[in-house]
Structures are given as C-alpha cells and as structure tokens.
Amino acid sequence: MLESSTVSATLNDILGSHRSGRAIVMGVLNVTPDSFSDGGSFLDPAAAVEQARRMVSAGADIIDVGAESTRPGSQRVPPDEQVRRIAPLLREIVSLGAAVSIDTTSAAVAEAALDAGAAIINDVSAGRGDPAMLPLAAARGCRVVLMHMLGEPKGMQVDPRYDDVVAEVRGFLGERLEAAEAAGVPRAKCIVDPGIGFGKRLEHNLSLLAHVDALVELGVAVLVGPSRKRFIGELTGEDDPPRRLGGTIAACLACFARGATIFRVHDVGPVVQALTVAAAVTRASRP
Ligand code: HH2
C-alpha cells in the first residue's frame, strides 16, 4: 500500500524529531484480552477503531497496534491469532491519517500489518525474536523501533541485574542499530527505546529515565514508554494502572527535557497537552 503524503510528512517529522525537538505522541491500542492496564477493552474491532479515532483527535501522531501482551509473565500469542485480532480493524485505523505502527516480534504479523498500510514496526525484541524481521523491514523500506529487553516477558522481572544499566542498554541499542544496518535498514529509519519495565527494577527504570540523553547520543530519535507502568505504582503507591496518569506525564516531561522525543502512552490528550506546554516553555527560554 502506498503511503499518503500526509503520513510521509508525519514519518519524516517522527524520524527527525531528535533534531527538531518536536514531541511526538504514540497512542497505545492493545487489541488483547490481557494487557496490564487495558486488557479486553478494545478486543471488539468497533471499540478499537473508536479508541484509535479518539486518540487521533486528541493529537496522536502514531497509533501503535498490538495483539500480544508483553506484560511480565505473559504468554506468547501465535502469529495467526495476532493477525486474526488485527485484520478486521487495521485498514480502518490506517485511514484515520496517523502513522500506524505494529507492536509485534513476529515478521508474519508485521508483514500482514504492512500490507494493510502500517508504516512502522515496533519490535520489543529489537529484531532478535524473529530472524525474518529486519530483512522484512529492509525489503519494505519501513521504520523500526528497536527496544531493549533483558530476557523474555515470561521471566524478565525475575531478579534482573546490571553492572551499569545505562551503559549496557546504550551498548545493546548501538549493536542492534548495527544489526539493522547490516540487514539493510538505514540507521535514519530506526528509533531506539530503553524498554521501561522490560527486565528492570525500579532503580534501573529511574536511571534510564534520568540518563535518556545517553541514548540520544546514538544519533536517532528516542522513544520512551513509561505509561501506567509498575515503577509509577512503586513510587506512589497507586495500584490501579489507569490512575497513574500523573506519574506518566512526569516521566514523559523528564525525558523530553533530556532529549527523548517520542512518547508511547495510553492517555493521549493529557500527554499532548503537557508536552505542548513544556515545548513552549523550552522555546521561550531560548534567547
Ligand atoms: N511497552 C509495552 C508494549 N510495547 N513498545 C515499546 N516500543 N516501548 C514500550 O515501553 C512498550 C512497548 C507494554 O505496555 P502495554 O502495551 O500497555 O501493555 P501490554 O504489553 O500488557 O499489552
């Protein structure tokens, strides 16, 4: 499917956001029964499309569609079941005009989504989960999010350890950028992500948020996904993920101040508003 000129312009804005400083918001759409904060809410295709429409109206530049939960302890969902979940709604979501990303580690699922008009592969395994993923991205000329994860979702929160979490995550992402380039995906089409909550304790998540500028030095746009995650509950005592919006906004703003520009969130409107104000204050502080 050919990209519309509006989506191509959005994609250029997204990939160049680390240079322009423009904040980009990626709205989360989980077409799953078991996601940690919204599982089951959008399994019905009509509800999913309606939620995507709301997120686009609220200012989302990207809609990230996922059909497999990666919460700690989650079970893998076979590729054909992921395709079955997204097939009835993907084209309609693409027609809303935002860029669409597919959150999967399976090349078969990514290919089905690209065929329906998705433009970005969001791979939490950074191309390690399926050897066909990076070659597919190269052949289709699409953009790729490369995320850091220690281990697999099933056991990743069992005693994760690092000597220097920031250096190790940065080193890993540098290597995955090289692997993507070796497979034929230009660096300029890649986005990196420290993988908040993926094999990390509270102190690891906080170090990565505090030093996200070390990832910006890799020379590509940096995405962060703190939305509603457990570290916010650990800091604040809020057990109910949908009630973690204040913490989500604080984490996004702290990362924006340090050079990250793409924010994967469930609550698009409030985060767009917060980033708009933060960006205006930053501009006003320049001579
Ligand atoms: N977090 C989740 C899923 N996909 N992708 C990227 N690039 N970065 C993230 O931090 C990230 C991600 C987990 O959040 P969610 O989709 O809300 O939950 P679940 O995995 O349970 O569906």
- Max distance between CA atoms of the chain, in angstroms, equals 55
**147 CA distance to ligand 1 middle (Å):** 10
Q: Where are the beta strands (DSSP E) in the chain?
A: 24-30, 62-66, 99-103, 120-123, 143-147, 190-193, 221-224, 262-265
With beta carbons less than 8 A apart as the criterion, state whether 180 and 142 touch: no
Confidence band, pLDDT 50/70/90 cuts, at residue 9: confident
Instruction: Encode pLDDT of 96-133 as tens digits.
Output: 999 999 999 999 999 999 999 999 999 999 999 999 99
Prediction pTM value:
0.96
SS3 content of the chain, % helix, strand, coil (to 5): 45, 15, 40
Average pLDDT of the chain, as a whole number: 95
Counting every residue written for the chain, the total comes to: 287
Among protein residues, the one with the nearest Cα to ligand 1's atom 11 is: 225
Three-state helix/strand/coil letters over 155-194: CCCCCCCCCCHHHHHHHHHHHHHHHHHHHCCCHHHEEEEC
Nearest ligand 1 atom to alpha carbon 37: 17
Q: Cα(48)–Cα(229) distance, rounded to whole angstroms?
A: 21
| DSSP of 22-34 | --EEEEEEE-SS-
Q: Which pLDDT value is given to residue 62?
A: 97
**Least trusted range by pLDDT, from 28-42, 245-259, 269-283:** 28-42
Helix (H, G, I), strand (E, B), or coil: what is residue 227? coil
Compute the distance from residue 264 Cα to the ligand 1 centre, in Å.
8
Considering only residues 53 and 71, tell me which one the structure prediction assigns the higher pLDDT: 53
Span from the CA of 200 to the centroid of ligand 1 (angstroms): 14
> Stretch 188-214: mean pLDDT, rounded?
97
pLDDT of residue 159: 82
More confident residue, 40 or 157: 40
CA-nearest residue, atom 3 of ligand 1: 70
- Per-residue pLDDT at 2: 65
The predicted pLDDT at position 14 comes to: 93
Q: In the numeric block, which tokens belong to residue 114?
A: 């690209």
C-alpha–C-alpha distance, residues 128 and 143, integer Å: 16
Q: What is the pLDDT of residues 140-178, one digit of tens each?
A: 999 999 999 998 777 777 788 999 999 999 999 999 999
* Rg of the chain over all Cα atoms, to the nearest angstrom: 17
The pLDDT, as a whole number, for residue 101 is 98
Please give the Cα distance from 35 to 239 (Å, whole number): 15
Q: Higher-confidence residue: 186 or 6?
A: 186
pLDDT of residue 286: 85
| Distances 97 to 37, 71, 93, 187, 220 between C-alpha atoms, Å | 26, 29, 8, 25, 24
Residue 85 reports pLDDT greater than 70: yes
What is the separation of C-alpha 211 from the centre of its chain, rounded to a whole number of angstroms?
18
Compute the Cα dihedral for 214, 216, 219, 221 and give only its sign. positive
Residue 72 binned pLDDT confidence (cut-offs 50, 70, 90): confident
Q: Is the pLDDT of residue 1 over 70?
A: no
Q: What is the mean pLDDT of residues 33-59?
A: 94
Pocket of ligand 1 (CB under 6 A): 28, 30, 32, 35-37, 66, 69-71, 103, 122, 124, 145, 147, 193, 195-196, 223, 225, 264
* Helix locations, 75-158, DSSP H: 79-86, 90-94, 107-115, 133-140
pLDDT at 16 over 70: yes
Q: CB atoms < 10 A from the CB of 114, how many?
A: 23
